[in-house]
């Protein structure tokens, strides 16, 4: 996907530039540094509907922090500091975001240096103090099979007064591994950024590598089918998980059964329960036979009915409704302030979906409704997921009904320059960006939706009780691995 427009400015003016665009309805979707010794380029990507703006600014060792005027830049600038050793002056909160290792330097720094700078610091205590206030540290090792993340609560009895989330324990160095000749297929690596969103990450990577190549219509429709199957099994996992965390074991078991049947169908038709290995630059790896399409049609209709039945179980059980309604409210104001994306944003009244605003693959040829709620609580997020499953079923059936014979892959040439891939993953707006020079990827950046959604959960848990945190956390459905690239 080619960026709509690019503008450059002096580093002293970068914050003002970004703020000016914000006042005109743009919002930040990514920010990262691309080094060119002896200096570096700060890239800020903004989106307004279907328009994408790239602001660049040349820096050496430091620049005035954008976060001082645009708070949404704060987390991005923390990563720029720890990954590239470029200091955002005036930031004021440069604790590590995804890279905690001691003495290993700054992983994406390309320029020569004599010694590594130590960037690891202890996790700070929460600022809340007072009689009867105590801290509850949770993680990074959790009960059961769950990824590592540290949650530090300040509580007075059961009510939560403050939450600090510290991630980075899953840092894998994928952005560095993405560098090299464009001839190398990187979708296999992209799928491992967050395994349950393998299709979305694979698509975002493929879009960058393909440039403006014309993808065959059959391949574009199979891509949509794969993306919507992924959305369905992710949403089912969250809804069934909410039942598990509220001790509603009958509904939880039913939801798990519906999802398991879909995953087995994925395995039979596409060779992978989580659909890995199907997205390739230029198209898709596997075609669909008439028998496959017939089986898939039956399977998605069944899962659509199953999701509605699961929703009925929840809504007809007053004790569960009482647990979910008015719990973990993320107001529309806070959702906008934290640049929240995906289901979390739509459950708080924000009408935004990359599939509708920046259509990719076959989405521009299909019809679907944008699902929103306005209460921003756990029940609203659950309802958005259930209704989105119905829309995903509809999209898959449209693709199957209109599928024509044809090629599933085409040749392409990856162009030099800057490009980005935008995809609406099950968790929301996903952004991959690449700076390609002389046939090689010089800098690759990944902005998973979880990266911008984790901070909003710190606000959503306020004034709730500690036992409700698992429900709030599950309703957000965020990825540790996707955050810790």
Mean pLDDT by 10 residues, the chain (485 residues): 80 94 93 85 94 93 92 93 90 83 72 56 76 89 85 92 91 92 93 95 96 94 98 98 94 97 97 96 96 97 97 96 96 94 97 95 96 97 98 98 95 92 97 94 96 95 94 96 92
Rounded Cα distance, 101 and 106, in Å: 10
Nearest to 434 by CA among 165, 233, 180, 152: 180
Nearest to 427 by CA among 272, 258, 204: 204
Q: Return the pLDDT at 459.
A: 94
Rounded Cα distance, 362 and 215, in Å: 10
Q: What is the pTM of this model?
A: 0.95
Contact 75, 455 (CB under 8 A): yes
Q: Return the pLDDT at 95.
A: 83
- Mention every residue, 6+ apart, whose C-beta is less than 8 A from residue 271: 277, 278, 286
Contact 362, 221 (CB under 8 A): yes
Q: Is the peptide bond before 148 cis (omega within 30 degrees of 0)?
A: no
Per DSSP, the residues of 105-116 read --TT--S--SSP
Contact 231, 426 (CB under 8 A): yes
Pairing of β 87-89 and β 62-64: parallel
Contact 96, 167 (CB under 8 A): no
Q: Return the pLDDT at 316.
A: 96
The three-state secondary structure class of 183 is coil
Contact 479, 454 (CB under 8 A): no
The three-state secondary structure class of 98 is coil
Give the start-to-end residue ranges of the domains of the chain: 5-89, 134-166, 174-483
Nearest to 340 by CA among 352, 324, 356: 352
Q: Return the pLDDT at 1.
A: 62
Helices (H) and strands (E) in the chain, counts: 16, 15
**Radius of gyration (C-alpha) of the chain in whole angstroms:** 22
174-483 has which fold? Answer: Cytochrome-c3 Hydrogenase; chain B (1.10.645)
H helix runs in 365-465, sequence order: 378-401, 449-460
Rounded Cα distance, 303 and 237, in Å: 12
- Mention every residue, 6+ apart, whose C-beta is less than 8 A from residue 10: 57
Contact 152, 126 (CB under 8 A): yes
Q: Is the peptide bond before 38 cis (omega within 30 degrees of 0)?
A: yes
Contact 242, 471 (CB under 8 A): yes
Contact 55, 3 (CB under 8 A): no
- DSSP annotation of 200 reads H
Q: Return the pLDDT at 102.
A: 60
Q: Return the pLDDT at 358.
A: 94
- DSSP annotation of 152 reads E
Alpha carbon of residue 39 to chain centroid: 30
Rounded Cα distance, 60 and 398, in Å: 52
Alpha carbon of residue 209 to chain centroid: 20
Rounded Cα distance, 239 and 257, in Å: 12
Residue 118: Cβ-neighbour burial (10 angstroms; 0-12, 13-18, 19+): exposed
Contact 258, 303 (CB under 8 A): yes
- Mention every residue, 6+ apart, whose C-beta is less than 8 A from residue 334: 340, 348, 456, 459, 460
Q: Return the pLDDT at 322.
A: 95
CB neighbour burial string for 21-45, b if at least 16 within 10 angstroms, e if fewer: bbeeebebbbbbbbbeeeebbbbbb
Nearest to 353 by CA among 406, 297, 318, 395: 395
Mean pLDDT of all residues belonging to the chain: 92
Helix (H) / strand (E) containing 253: helix 249-270
Nearest to 134 by CA among 114, 108, 153, 106: 153
Q: What is the largest CA-CA distance in the chain?
A: 71
Rounded Cα distance, 59 and 35, in Å: 9
Q: Return the pLDDT at 67.
A: 94
CATH number attached to the domain at 5-89: 3.30.460.80
Nearest to 229 by CA among 196, 204, 183: 196
Rounded Cα distance, 36 and 239, in Å: 46
Q: Return the half-sphere exposure (C-beta side, CA atoms, 13 A cut-off) of residue 340.
A: 29
Q: Return the pLDDT at 465.
A: 95
Contact 410, 222 (CB under 8 A): no
């Amino acid at each position: 996907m080619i960026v709509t427009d690019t503008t450059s400015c002096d580093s002293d003016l970068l914050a003002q530039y970004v703020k000016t665009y914000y006042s005109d309805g743009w919002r930040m979707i990514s920010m990262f540094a691309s080094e060119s010794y002896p200096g570096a380029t700060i890239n800020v990507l903004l989106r307004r509907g279907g328009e994408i703006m790239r602001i660049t600014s040349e820096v050496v060792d430091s620049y005035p922090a954008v976060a001082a005027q645009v708070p949404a830049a704060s987390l991005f600038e923390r990563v720029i500091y720890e990954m590239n050793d470029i200091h955002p002056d005036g930031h004021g909160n440069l604790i590590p975001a995804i890279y905690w290792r001691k003495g290993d330097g700054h992983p994406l720094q390309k320029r020569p240096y004599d010694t590594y700078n130590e960037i690891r610091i202890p996790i700070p205590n929460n600022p809340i103090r007072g009689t009867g206030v105590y801290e509850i540290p949770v993680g990074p090792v959790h009960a059961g099979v769950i990824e590592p993340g540290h949650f530090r609560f300040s509580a007075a009895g059961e009510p939560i007064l403050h939450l600090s989330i510290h991630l980075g324990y899953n840092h894998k160095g994928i952005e560095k591994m993405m560098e090299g000749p464009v001839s190398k297929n990187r979708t296999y690596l992209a799928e491992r950024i967050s395994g349950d969103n393998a299709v979305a990450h694979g698509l975002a990577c493929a879009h960058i590598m393909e440039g403006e190549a014309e993808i065959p219509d059959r391949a574009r429709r199979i891509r949509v089918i794969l993306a919507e199957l992924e959305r369905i099994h992710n949403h089912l996992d969250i809804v069934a998980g909410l039942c598990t965390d509220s001790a509603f074991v009958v509904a939880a078991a039913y939801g798990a059964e519906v999802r398991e049947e879909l995953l087995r169908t994925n395995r039979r038709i596409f060779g992978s329960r989580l659909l890995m290995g199907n997205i390739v630059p230029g198209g898709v790896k596997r075609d669909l036979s008439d028998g496959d399409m017939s089986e898939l049609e039956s399977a998605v209709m069944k899962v659509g009915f199953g999701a509605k039945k699961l929703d009925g179980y929840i809504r007809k059980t007053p004790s569960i409704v009482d647990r979910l309604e008015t719990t973990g409210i993320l107001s529309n104001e806070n959702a906008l302030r934290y640049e929240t994306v995906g289901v979390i944003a739509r459950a708080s009244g924000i009408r935004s979906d990359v599939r509708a605003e920046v259509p990719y693959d076959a989405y521009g040829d299909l019809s679907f409704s944008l699902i929103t709620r306005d209460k921003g609580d756990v029940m609203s997020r659950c309802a958005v997921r259930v209704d989105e499953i119905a829309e995903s079923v509809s999209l898959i059936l449209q693709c199957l009904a209109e599928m024509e014979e044809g090629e599933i892959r085409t040749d392409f040439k990856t162009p030099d320059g800057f490009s980005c891939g935008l995809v609406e993953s099950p968790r929301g707006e996903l952004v991959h960006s690449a700076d390609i020079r002389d046939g090689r990827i010089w800098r690759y950046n990944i902005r998973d939706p979880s990266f911008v959604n984790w901070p909003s959960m710190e606000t959503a848990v306020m004034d709730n009780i500690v036992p409700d945190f698992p429900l709030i956390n599950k309703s957000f459905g965020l990825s540790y691995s996707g955050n810790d690239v």
